[in-house]
Amino acid sequence: MDQLLPSLPKSRTEPDGSAVIRVLSYNIRSLRDDEEALARVIRACAPDLVCVQEAPRFFRWRKHAARLAAKSDLVVLGGGATAAGPLLLCSLRAFVERTDDVLLPRTPGLHRRGFATAVVRFGAARIGVVSAHLSLQREERRAQADLLLDRVAALDTPYGIAAADVNEGPDGPAFARLAAELQDCREVAPWGGGPTFPVGTADRRIDAVFATGGVEVLGCGVPVGLPGVRAADLRAATDHLPVLAALRLAAAR
């Protein structure tokens, strides 16, 4: 039997307009694995925002993204092939102001990378969100970390979240650069599991949720043992484990 985790705050909007939201970061390996298991994991996490990496990018990619969103009780917010893989999903709690897909400079011979970005509101809290999947190449990855920080700042919102498959752990230069400017949510408020890759024998924490300084982190980690999240589904869904964060956003004054 899977061991149950301590409870994680549920999404809610307070009378003063402040909001508690759940953000999920998940590399889904282009939906090459068990899509039903993947959707069950996402639903059990009850996220308000899902920052997907490695969404389908080729034939009928929009149809695949929409199908995953529907199975997960969410809607497509932005990204996909037009962001070179990062995708954003959201719940109907989100009021969407704008979205923007960003393609990054390409290094010859390497895979094109991009960001899926959006500005949304929950209650009276306005937030910018970026989903990213950084390069496999160390130097390019470090440069992309700077571009990611620039993009979060350019959204010009009271709160910012960047969720990413960083492709390196906290001791790497790109991860360290992000953690120097943003809160590494897992480090601030550990909850659940830590390592995210590879599924089944995870020994590396290469997936993370980062947040700007004004965000209150209530808990963050791999939801192994969260009620409704089955170990068998995690193994079947994709080759990464997801990262789930509960965040509190005060109402803008």
Model confidence pLDDT, tens digit, residues 165-183: 999 999 999 999 999 999 9
pLDDT of residue 1: 37
Which helix (H) or strand (E) segment holds residue 39: the answer is: helix 35-45
Model confidence pLDDT, tens digit, residues 141-156: 999 999 999 999 999 9
Shortest CA distance to 161 belongs to which of 151, 174, 147, 172? 151
Model confidence pLDDT, tens digit, residues 35-48: 999 999 999 999 99
Q: DSSP character for 80? A: S
Q: DSSP character for 6? A: P
Which superfamily does CATH assign the domain made up of 12-249 to?
Answer: Endonuclease/exonuclease/phosphatase (3.60.10.10)
Pairwise CA distance, residues 45 & 53, whole Å: 17
User: Which two structure tokens, joined as six digits, stand for 195?
Assistant: 């390592």
- Domain boundaries defined on the chain: 12-249
146, 153 contact by CB (below 8 A): no
Pairwise CA distance, residues 152 & 82, whole Å: 19
Model confidence pLDDT, tens digit, residues 111-122: 899 999 999 999
